[in-house]
Structure 1
Amino acid sequence: MFLSAIHPAKPSVYNNWTVIVWLILGLMFSPLSRSAEDNTTDPAMVEVISSLITSNRHPYLLHNDIYDQHEDIQALYQLNSYQLVWLKNGALDSQVDDVLALLANAEENGLNAQNYDGSYLARKWLQIKAGQDKSPQALALYDTALNIALLRYLSDLHYGQVKAHNVKLGADIILEQISLAGLIVEAAAQKKPSELVAKVEPVLPVYQHLKEALSKYRQLARTNDFHQFAFTQTLRPGQRDSQMVFLRELLTALGDMPELAETDAENGKLYDASLVKGVKNFQLRHGLGGDGVIGKSTVAAFNMPLADRVRQIELSMERFRWLPRVKEGSLIIVNIPAFQLWAYDSIGMETVPPLNMKVIVGKSLNKQTPVFMANMHFLQFRPYWNVPRSIVKEELLPKLRLNWSYLAGQNMELVNNFGPNATVIAVNDETINLLSRGLLKVRQRPGRLNALGSVKFMFPNDYNVYLHDTPTQNLFKRTRRDFSHGCVRVEDPEALAEFVLKSKDGWDRQRISNAMHRDNPRYVQLDNPIPVIIFYTTAMATADQVLFFEDIYGLDNPLIQALSRPVQKKTADTVVLTE
């Protein structure tokens, strides 16, 4: 997919019904219960706003091109009856310090504080407090500068720093409407600017865990200079190496093993059981299988600078901001480079660990699984596999032309359509020719050989991608699992079916097992749709661990480049950030 690097990413306020309602209410009434005197329009403010809108430049900002915010800044002051927002009770009696602290702490949320001119505005604020310039125009300019910086910050937190044009959303995914201008005016009236972050950032559990991981890894990167490992050969449990003392330090700092009492010099060289357990934990967190053998891939992961891990976490947080703000209910996330699925019982309250299982995703070279979000509506037990046209053309037709009985050997059949009333067609030269022209189709009957296994989980989307069982369970033993044509194969379909059907009466584990292995093909409609996010990120986090993965589709560097460009230049370039 293609994402345009636009700063910030948000809909126009004039196309947003929520903002329009805010504006109407702001002009008709006092939304924040100000007195009649307070509602008097400030001529200096009107003049400053008019000048800013005309010039699209702000003299109090280093990033002074404000075209990205001129609509929102006008809406904000209309809501506030063209009064100062943060300086309304006098420059020395304000909430400016709270807003500046918010901007200064942008790094805590994986953002670059320099993009919001916080340090520059803080110095300007000291000048104002020192009495250097307190004219109405100067105060109006400072108030607008502070709000433009705050709008940029909140926009980046809510929509992301680059705009995802084609992170495909299902037709029935409802986007939350939000007025950043309204939130700022409300926060100023309630004297609660510190609560703004929680009102706009993603509420997904994984995002909050990533935020905690960011703090931990940033601190480790700042305060530690870990040893760079170099082993002359693969190291196995029970062997000795002088670098084991450094390995203990690393694994203890990362939380992969508890801190142990000091050992003598000779025993400190032993790759003992406690170290093996720590290495296995490290390997599992980094997608390296967990066999405890220290080879090239594990050494490379040991030597990865923690600053790079910090960057991976920041990229992951950015990608989660591109998604709709899901607040409640169940949720399924498939992370492509992790080759894993997480199913959350409740987004709003993570009371139990999510269901977690291995998955198989699309081949990295030419069958990549797309990134999108859709709602799961039904399951199909004992499904037919409707073979995609591309597979028929590239794989089946050459074999079928050599051997007419090939389809029968694969429990497949030639049909006139994929519907329930499909007619089975005999295989011969004429029908093979019709198949090559796309006039006939191939499907695989339910059974042991069926490529979809015993159940598929359906969430309608433009890519015809879904989750499904598979007869090739041995592939889940592999560490890297990009083997499919694009769909996602799940390791434990019964457990996933139980999760999906937990609120549907009568569907216990036994009935699910019967439907998968003995019953005839059947559809089961869900009572409530479940959002499914097919996602791509090389860092994930749970309540008790941080996970890192190989960038199998090569999508991290384009995003790093887009985020590293100066704010003023994030308006034209197009980069590939998802597939």
Structure 2
Amino acid sequence: MKHKSAFDRRTFLKTLMGAAALSVAGQACAVEGRSWDDAFDVRVSAGGEQVASNQPVLSLATVAYTEMAIATYSNIVSQGGWGLVPTQQGPLQTGVKHPAVTALRERLFVSGDLARGVGVSQVFDSYVEGAVRRFQARHGLPVDGQVGDVTYRALNVSADMRLNQLHKNLERLNKVVAKTADEKRFVMVNVPSAQIEAVEKVMVVQRHTAVVGKIDRQTPILDSKIHEIILNPFWTVPKSIIRKDIIPLMRKEPNYLTDNNIHLFNNRGQEVLPQSVDWNTDEAVGLMFRQDPGKINAMSSTKINFHNRHAVYMHDTPQQGLFNNLMRFDSSGCIRVHNVRDLNLWILQNTAGWDRMSMEKVIYSRKNTPIAVKDPVPLHFVYISAWSTDDGVVQFRDDIYHMDGAPELAFGDIAR
């Protein structure tokens, strides 16, 4: 494995050869079979390099590499940035010959996704596909090697805006990394990337896809410690969900609560029948809604608790298909965790009596089981939408909560 010093400032001397993209006419894309000028080479070009890293987003090394990225992008801006890639009807993809591909190559040259040695051509060949895949991976997009609507949108964010985004996120990084300096292990939830990192000894040991809060029900930024895991949890429904979701549902589907094993209780702990509630009013908001443990429980197998004033938590979900979505901003503020049982075991590694077999046995029993974590694990919910974890690998994500100052950086709507 190739190792590089995070503090090697020689990178600041590097520059990328920038040039304005060619202005091209908006012609219809034409598939040319195999009669293109450039050889169709199945080897992976420089643009196909891996961009994943086991370096934590919250680390001094990431701060240093992000500073290097700012120097590189400052140089790109000083040389005029990059030109627009003209949008076409239908995606640009392997086998297409079109003038827009020339502009695409130039755009990918400037950002370092495509090596200049592969030449200039109107043909979308394997080198361009590899470069597009690298670009998509760096931007948290589906890595399909095709330039469709969302990839066009990301390509055509200006270099000035990306540089400003890096500056804003470096400020955030510096603040939160200082908090993790003495933590031997911690969990990070990065909201814009909807991703979780379990970090131990300055290395990412687990990554989990997440679902985070909607734009109108945002996941808060916070620091806490995970002190409890509940297997087969009861779900007490937040009042915001009762008001915004369940009351309207009950007006349309009177059996919704019964079908989903949700019971109502008054302030004396007495169960209330759904039929006795006037669902055309807000009367139900004064009741407690509690869902029994089980497969259809909103938290499924697990609830991960940590003290916070926002009443949010991390949890499993029966809706596993949500983790396949590009835009995973669908919760009411809490965090849904893919493969949560792996994270459970990592959190409980110093809590006696818990291994995979014992955990699975309890989950199978459907018995509500709270587990106190022997050594509470630090937890950080952060908003980092631009960073770098390696020389030349600069990561960007959709500014879903509009914190980076430019509407062009938030394009979640087009991706839905």
Counterpart of 2:195 in structure 1 is 340
Partner of 1:305: 158
Question: What does residue 294 of structure 1 align with?
Answer: 147
Query: How many angstroms apart in 2 are the aligned matches of 1:332 and 1:457?
Result: 12
Residue identity matched to 2:238: P
> Which of 375, 398, 401 matches 1:550?
398
Q: Identify the structure with the greater helix proportion.
A: 1
Deviation at 1:527, TM superposition (A): 2.0
Alignment of 1:73-472 (within 5 A): 204-223=60-79, 225-233=81-89, 234-252=91-109, 254-257=111-114, 259=115, 261-262=117-118, 268-323=121-176, 325-327=179-181, 328-346=183-201, 350=202, 352-364=203-215, 366-400=216-250, 404-416=254-266, 424-429=271-276, 436=283, 438-472=285-319
Distance 2:103 2:284 in 1: 64
User: 1: CA distance between counterparts of 2:169 and 2:129?
Assistant: 29
Q: Does 1:536 align with 2:383?
A: yes
Amino acid of the residue matched to residue 306 of structure 1?
A: A
Q: Report the CA distance shift for 1:300/1:439 in structure 2 as closer, same or farther (over 3 A).
A: closer
What is the Cα-based RMSD across aligned positions, in Å? 3.1
**Equivalent-residue separation in structure 1 for 2:240 and 2:209 (angstroms):** 26
Partners of 1:260 and 1:320 in 2: CA distance: 32
Q: Which of 336, 340, 365 lines up with 1:489 in the alignment? A: 336
Asked whether the equivalents of residues 399 and 406 of structure 1 are also in contact (C-alpha less than 8 Å), the reply is yes
2:82–2:107 contact (8 Å) kept in structure 1: yes
Cα distance, 1:548 vs. partner?
0.9
8 Å CA contact retained: 2:294, 2:366: no
Q: Report deviation, 1:377.
A: 0.9
Aligned residue for 1:6?
none
Distance in 2 (alpha carbons) for counterparts of 1:244 and 1:303: 14
How far residue 499 of structure 1 moved from its aligned partner, in angstroms, is 2.6
Going by fraction, where is strand more abundant, 1 or 2? 2
Q: Which moved more, 1:380-389 or 1:487-496?
A: 487-496
TM-score normalised by the chain length of structure 1: 0.54
Helix, strand or coil: the match of 2:97? coil
Distance in 2, Cα, partners of 1:375 & 1:329: 13
8 Å contact kept, 2:85–2:107: no
Unaligned runs of 5+ in 1: 1-104, 109-201, 559-579
Is contact 1:229–1:243 with CA below 8 Å preserved after alignment? yes
Tell me what 1:161 maps to.
none
Aligned pair count?
A: 347
Residue deviations 1:307-366 (CA, integer Å, cap 9, x gap): 3222111101112344453212212222222222222113xxx3x4452222111111x2
Cα displacement (A) at 1:296: 3.2
Residues 402/283 of structure 1: CA separation in 2 closer, same or farther (3 Å cut)? closer
Q: CA deviation at 1:430?
A: 5.8
Instruction: Tell me the CA shift for residue 246 of structure 1.
Output: 4.8
TM-score between the two structures when normalised by the length of structure 2? 0.73
The 3-state SS of whatever aligns with 1:325 is helix
Match of 1:542, SS state, is strand
CA contact (8 A) 1:435 1:441 kept: no
1:325 maps to amino acid: K
* Alpha-carbon offset, residue 484 of structure 1: 1.0
1-structure distance, mates of 2:280, 2:149: 51
Amino acid at match of 1:326: T
- Relative to 1, partners in 2 of residues 1:253 and 1:524: Cα closer, same or farther, differing over 3 Å? farther
Extract unaligned runs of 5+ from structure 2.
1-8, 13-57, 407-416
The whole-number CA distance in structure 2 between the counterparts of 1:474 and 1:413 is 26
Do the aligned partners of 1:431 and 1:440 also contact (CA within 8 Å) in 2? Answer: no
- Structure with the bigger RCO (C-alpha within 8 Å, sep 6+) is 2
1:405 maps to a residue whose letter is N
Q: Give, in angstroms, the shift of residue 261 of structure 1.
A: 4.5
User: Within 2, Cα distance between the matches of 1:334 and 1:297?
Assistant: 24
For residues 227 and 503 of structure 1, what CA distance do their matches in structure 2 show? 53
Question: Which of the two has higher C-alpha Rg?
Answer: 1
For 1:260 and 1:513, the matched residues in 2 are separated by 53
SS at match of 2:344: helix
**Per the alignment, do residues 278 and 502 of structure 1 end up closer, same or farther by CA in structure 2, a change over 3 Å counting?**
farther
